[in-house]
Amino acid sequence: MPEPILAAAGFTYTYPDAPAPALADIDLELEPGSLTVLAGESGSGKSTLLRAACGLVPHFHGGEASGELSVGGLDVRDNGPGELSQVCGTLFQEPESQVVMGGVRAEIALGLEHRGESPAAVARAVEEAALALGIAHLLSRRADTLSGGELQRVALAAAMAHRPRLLLLDEPTSQLDPVAGDELIWMLRRLNEEWGTTIVLSEHRLERCLPAADRVLALDRGRLACDAPPSEFLAWAAEARPVLATPAARLFSLAGLRPLPASVKEAKKTLGVSGLGGRVSEPASTRRRKRGQAALELRSVWHEIADGPAILRGVDLRVEAGELVALMGRNGAGKSTLLKHAKGLLEPTRGSIKASGEVALLLQNPGDYLIHEHAREEAGERALLGAGLQGRGEADPRDLSGGERQRLALEVVLSGEEPPAVVCLDEPTRGMDRARKEALALRLHELAAGGAAVIVATHDPEFAARLADRVLLMGEGELIADGSTAEVLAGGWYFATEVARVLGGAGGALTPEQGAAVLERELVS
Amino acid sequence: MSLVPVYRRRASALHAARAGVSASFCLALAFAPILFDNPIVLGALLCAVIAAGIGAGVARELRRWAAIAFGLALLVVIVNPLVTSDGLTVLVRGGSFLGRRWDITLEATIYGAVAALRVLDVVLAFALLSAAVDPDELLRALRRVSYRSALTAALTTRLVPVLARDASRKSEAARCRPRPPGRSTVARAAVAGSLERAVELAAALEVRGYSRARRPQVARRPWSRHDFRVLASAVAIAGLAVVAKLAGAGGFQAYPTTHVSAGPAQAAVAVAFVALAAAPFLGAAGRLGVARA
């Protein structure tokens, strides 16, 4: 066996002032040229392990480390991030916070210049990295004109321009829309297969990256809970950590089928079918819904800007009290603009909007709502209780976990005198693990049960399937589909859950539970 | 559109010239007004910056900077007559307070306006620099002199638009709260957020080998006609400013009565500044810019 690119023996690390270690007794060896996925719930230690591998832990963050961890033969306790950067490239979650220079070419060149490479070598490496990642057309662009997906690819090019043997990626797709996220994963697969770069990737949406993985490491409270190939990991997850299992694996597990699939292709192969049963019964346009009290009504709403295309084009929409609506569509389709209009942050250039009461809006970054030094000051004790943060009133909101921040931010926007008639959330599940998504869905169901109309803009079909009873699909500022969740998400190709793709839309099944019921029926008959 | 005007590559002689040369041109335009009080010369220098901005295709950016600078200039116009009672022509008698007279004079008001004109000149010259000189190229050159200072400057130029967007998002989120907080609270949160960004950026720099950074090697690049033309203009503007100052062509007396020298010498200097600032952009060679750079 070749010398491992990363080797740990009893590695334990504790952040400064932390009561418990973030990593405990980690033993592992990574083979060169492998693609490894790190799985685990939020706070399980995935990011810490990656930060240890690139030397930020303990050199940048401080704290106490014991045991052995070496990367490319360099001991991380003796070598800091500067030395380890010779061996590994690192990419974090937030693209805006890791691009240093103003221009794309200068950004990719920076690391090479740090190494003292000659201008000719720098120019060549920049060109090759840009071509490898399909961003040659961006080389002359300024960083502030790029989308999140483009920025993340530029950061990846900068991390790998010096051809590191190991690439460490900490949830690199969490801030990207699904198209950009999928493109990034394909890109990593290509780097791994064609250049032989060893890749270690942490990710919550495992269904996206398991098909490319050689191995999965599952962490639980800082300990290595599973170290296995994808199929064995799925079998372990189905038994021990169902929240880590992919939807297709959960479908098979619930239906009692084996082996558990790591991809839609594998699942279909096992089932031996390309589609089961008939599709959902009615097309979207013929759907009839009971007319209740309108909580929000948009009549022919346009949003036009002076020197660009119209962002909303005559949107007509009626959402009733107690309805749970998922608003889907690609980036730039107009989802966020529609929600801002509903809240009154934007005025329509034409058309009218009526709401039966207050509209609460939670924008994409919950941290933007938290502006005080103590959690209690954000919205009072009642909000802390609603967010499940009793006893944390004195905590600095910036020290709360991502999930806690979001719960608190939601309670902040809900903390008016009267309960809101409409609750809107813009991309609330970015970077969330499945357990946190379930908890959010539960809270939104509570709000709907209390009479609020809930509208959630999301790219996540699995979350939409869990949450909504109606899905609106937007494209180019128009509503292009409006139907029940099953109608819209079971019949689609891109806007479809993994279960719907496995079953070809059979029976309108979207979730593993619904899919398992369909499979049982089909298999029995 | 970005809240703060930033550099965009354009087809102009100033963009095509090497960053050090283009920066020298802008700095010459910022240096000249510091030497003069004469409003004719200062007005001409303002016209010179605007002409260069139009030639470089960044007039829109200059207009936005001008809007920002105008507030500062107005403040100078207001404050100067309040703090200086020199001058013989009293417009408003303010009486005595704290042992001195607080009269507002015509001369102090005029001098305030002249100082404001100088502020506009300098701010717009730096605006031209930020809009037409590639900061990455400029900072790469500066990194050879002082690596850490140059990188800090690079981070600043990169972070300004990012932080402006962060602040704008926070302000939007504040409007979504049932009881919107005051501006100072949002501003404080934006500052705290910028510190978080700084820590994240520091980590990103560390994993890119910052701690082991070496001085970048020089890229040899032949001098283009744009380099020569822009550098010649820069030298000529700075030289003219020094010579005109020494020759007393920028005569201006603020107190006790205002006297502005306005003769052929001032007119010649004024015309020369505008012509020199516009020179790199004139003719076919000046217009082709990026395509032949």
Sheet holding A88-91, edge to edge: A88-91, A166-170, A198-202, A35-39, A215-220, A223-228
Q: Chain A within 8 Å of B204 (Cβ-Cβ)?
A: yes
Nearest to A371 among B9, B170, B208 (CB): B170
Provide DSSP, A410-431.
Answer: HHHHT-SSS--SEEEEESTTTT
Domain finish residue from A211, A243, A275: A243
User: Are A236 and A327 in the same domain?
Assistant: no
**Residue B291, domain member (yes or no):** no
Judge: A105–B134 Cβ closer than 8 Å, yes or no: no
Q: How many CA atoms lie within 13 Å of B203's alpha carbon, on the beta-carbon side?
A: 26
Per-residue pLDDT of A313-354, as tens digits, reads 999 999 999 999 999 998 888 999 999 999 999 999 999 999
Interface of B with A in 29-58 (CB under 8 A): none
Alpha carbon A308 to chain centroid, angstroms: 30
Output the CA–CA distances (angstroms, integers) from residue A41 to A35, A89, A90, A237, A249, in the order listed: 20, 24, 21, 12, 17
Judge: A140–B9 Cβ closer than 8 Å, yes or no: yes
Nearest to B140 among A81, A106, A159 (CB): A106
**Residue A413, domain member (yes or no):** yes
Q: Chain A within 8 Å of B176 (Cβ-Cβ)?
A: yes
User: Are B115 and B238 in the same domain?
Assistant: yes
Domain finish residue from B191, B212, B233: B212
Q: Chain A within 8 Å of B10 (Cβ-Cβ)?
A: no
Q: How many domains is chain B partitioned into structurally?
A: 2
User: Are A380 and A474 in the same domain?
Assistant: yes
**Residue A57, domain member (yes or no):** yes
User: Are B270 and B149 in the same domain?
Assistant: no
Judge: A111–B219 Cβ closer than 8 Å, yes or no: no
**Residue B207, domain member (yes or no):** yes
Burial of A2 (0-12, 13-18, 19+ CB in 10 A): exposed
Rounded to a whole number, what is the largest CA-CA distance in chain B?
67
**Residue B272, domain member (yes or no):** yes
User: Are A313 and A187 in the same domain?
Assistant: no
Q: Which residues of chain A neighbour B208 with C-beta distances below 8 Å? A: 85, 100, 110-111, 114, 158-159
Judge: A100–B181 Cβ closer than 8 Å, yes or no: no
pLDDT at position A386 is 84
Alpha carbon B138 to chain centroid, angstroms: 16
User: Are B194 and B153 in the same domain?
Assistant: yes
Q: Which domain holds residue B114?
A: 14-135+225-286
**Residue B252, domain member (yes or no):** yes
Going by DSSP bridges, is the β-strand pair A294-303/A312-320 parallel, antiparallel, or unpaired? antiparallel
**Residue A94, domain member (yes or no):** yes
Judge: A144–B177 Cβ closer than 8 Å, yes or no: no
**Residue A346, domain member (yes or no):** yes
User: Are A312 and A230 in the same domain?
Assistant: no
User: Are B131 and B153 in the same domain?
Assistant: no
Q: Which of A364, A52, A45, A37 is nearest to A205 (CA)?
A: A37
CATH code for the domain of A381: 3.40.50.300
CB B71 within 8 A of CB B93: no
pLDDT at position B291 is 42
**Residue B3, domain member (yes or no):** no
Judge: B176–A117 Cβ closer than 8 Å, yes or no: no
User: Are B64 and B206 in the same domain?
Assistant: no
**Residue A251, domain member (yes or no):** no
Domain finish residue from A191, A211, A243: A243
Question: A425: nearest CA in chain B?
Answer: B176
User: Are B39 and B147 in the same domain?
Assistant: no
Q: Chain A within 8 Å of B2 (Cβ-Cβ)?
A: yes
Q: Chain A within 8 Å of B223 (Cβ-Cβ)?
A: no
Output the CA–CA distances (angstroms, integers) from residue B70 to B2, B48, B67, B113, in the order listed: 19, 18, 5, 12
Q: How many domains is chain A partitioned into structurally?
A: 2
C-alpha distance from B233 to closest chain A C-alpha (Å): 27
**Residue A82, domain member (yes or no):** yes
**Residue A474, domain member (yes or no):** yes
**Residue B236, domain member (yes or no):** yes
User: Are B97 and B197 in the same domain?
Assistant: no
pLDDT at position A273 is 55
Domain finish residue from B188, B212, B236: B212
**Residue B260, domain member (yes or no):** yes
Judge: B176–A417 Cβ closer than 8 Å, yes or no: no
A:B CB pairs within 8 Å: 154
Q: Which domain holds residue A508?
A: 284-524
User: Which ranges of chain B have pLDDT less than 70?
Assistant: 1-5, 285-293
pLDDT at position A387 is 85
- Cis amide linkage into residue A309, ω under 30° from 0: no
Output the CA–CA distances (angstroms, integers) from residue A373 to A320, A396, A397, B185, in the order listed: 38, 5, 7, 10
Strand partners, A226: A218
CA A286-A496-A443 angle, 5° bins: 90
**Residue B220, domain member (yes or no):** no
pLDDT at position A290 is 57
User: Are A184 and A326 in the same domain?
Assistant: no
User: Which ranges of chain A have pLDDT less than 70?
Assistant: 1, 273-291, 524-525
Helix (H, G, I), strand (E, B) or coil at A123: helix
pLDDT at position A396 is 87
- Give the 3-state DSSP-derived string for A19-33, with helices as H, strands as E and coil as C: CCCCEEEEEEEECCC
Nearest to B217 among A84, A118, A343 (CB): A118
Nearest to B8 among A142, A361, A398 (CB): A142
Question: B135: nearest CA in chain A?
Answer: A102
C-alpha distance from A478 to closest chain B C-alpha (Å): 24
Going by DSSP bridges, is the β-strand pair A478-483/A470-475 parallel, antiparallel, or unpaired? antiparallel
Per-residue pLDDT of B31-56, as tens digits, reads 999 999 999 999 999 999 999 999 99
User: Are B47 and B178 in the same domain?
Assistant: no
User: Are B230 and B116 in the same domain?
Assistant: yes
User: Are B150 and B178 in the same domain?
Assistant: yes
User: Are A181 and A288 in the same domain?
Assistant: no
User: Are A313 and A185 in the same domain?
Assistant: no
User: Are B232 and B120 in the same domain?
Assistant: yes
**Residue A110, domain member (yes or no):** yes
pLDDT at position A277 is 44
User: Are A394 and A466 in the same domain?
Assistant: yes
User: Are A317 and A211 in the same domain?
Assistant: no
User: Are B89 and B231 in the same domain?
Assistant: yes
CB atoms within 10 A of CB A111: 28
Q: For residue A391, what are its two tokens? A: 């006893």
Judge: B169–A365 Cβ closer than 8 Å, yes or no: yes
Domain finish residue from B212, B244, B275: B212
C-alpha distance from B64 to closest chain A C-alpha (Å): 17
